[in-house]
Amino acid sequence: MKFSKKVEEAANKHDAYTFPVLLRDFGVLDFPEETWELIAQGTSIQMWPFQSSWKSAVGAQCFLDAAIDRPHQNLLRNVLKPFLSWSFSAGGFDEVYAEVTSAVYKTIQTHPYLRRRSALYSLTAATRLQHPLARLFLTEAIRFYDNNHDRFFGQNHTLVKHGLKSQAGQEMLHRFIAAPDTEAFVDLRNERDLKDPAKLREMAALGLPHYNFLLGELMYAEAQPHFPYPPKIIDPVIGQYREAADQGDSDACLKVANLMNALSISRTNSSHPLNLSPQYSFLAAWHGNEKSFKYARIQRILNQENIPGTPADVFKAVKIFLIPKHR
């Protein structure tokens, strides 16, 4: 389907503000409901409770896939897997809701890729199409962007629970979580594992970019005694960070920018294009790194491009997209 290709392209470019346009374009697609059902059957898409049509089901899954790529979807599936026993239990979803949201939040906290700006907007599009898991992931992701959101979050939590706690919703959730081949995507929680280069490389190879960043942190710690850094020591470190930065990891973007800037100031030769330091600083802000919002030069670029430049402004922009004013 041509539309899904457009969504995929926007995701690959991390082009956040294309998603409201794509959602509007999706709304005017005028295929018969039978066609949408055939598309859903061909791609194993199910209709969630609250979704009014197969068109909504197809579109919501398309935007969810754009927000969270398969490795990170599998990571979230494994996070949710311990809660499978809620299905059809006496208390149902209500009994474990707090634990579920906490587990999702911790995963998003440790994987900046999941809260980058384009992810927020594509999750918002999926949420507008009544995908309850997209709403859950969005609600937990934007906790990083605003501290005064009680009413908004209360409303979202209610809608998430309504969409998941019915029998049909729990059956859908079970199918989402119990997908095959997800066992490899287990987050590293043990401090010892997080300092094991072999384990970090193994996780990075699965497609989880933040583990490239963590591996870069180990390499950087080993390089520090060699300051001022000779190129043969620091260039591999920058390369490791760039592996994560170029996939949308905000922490890695900021680290690359700072190291490039430091080498440029010290007139150190490097195989990396040090003139890209400002670009990586901007990308750090674009992907949601709070620290980078504070740089004056980045604020100036954000203002020139009319891009929300503080966490609170990002939150407001997402809220406006999620709950548009009726004209």
Which pLDDT belongs to residue 95? Answer: 84
pTM value? 0.93
Averaged pLDDT in 10-residue chunks for the chain of 327 residues: 90 95 95 94 91 95 96 94 82 85 94 96 97 95 81 82 87 89 89 95 96 97 85 94 96 96 91 95 94 90 91 91 76
Exposed/middle/buried for 315, CB within 10 Å: 0-12, 13-18, 19+? buried
- Tell the residue number behind the tokens 């309504």, with chain if given: 162
Residue ranges per structural domain of the chain: 2-185+315-322, 193-294
Cα 32 to Cα 221: distance, rounded to the nearest angstrom = 58
Which pLDDT belongs to residue 327? Answer: 46
Which pLDDT belongs to residue 133? Answer: 95
Closest CA to 75 of 236, 212, 226, 184: 184
Which pLDDT belongs to residue 249? Answer: 96
Which pLDDT belongs to residue 148? Answer: 67
Tell me how far CA of residue 282 lies from CA of 2, 65, 285, in angstroms.
Answer: 31, 25, 5
Which pLDDT belongs to residue 1? Answer: 64
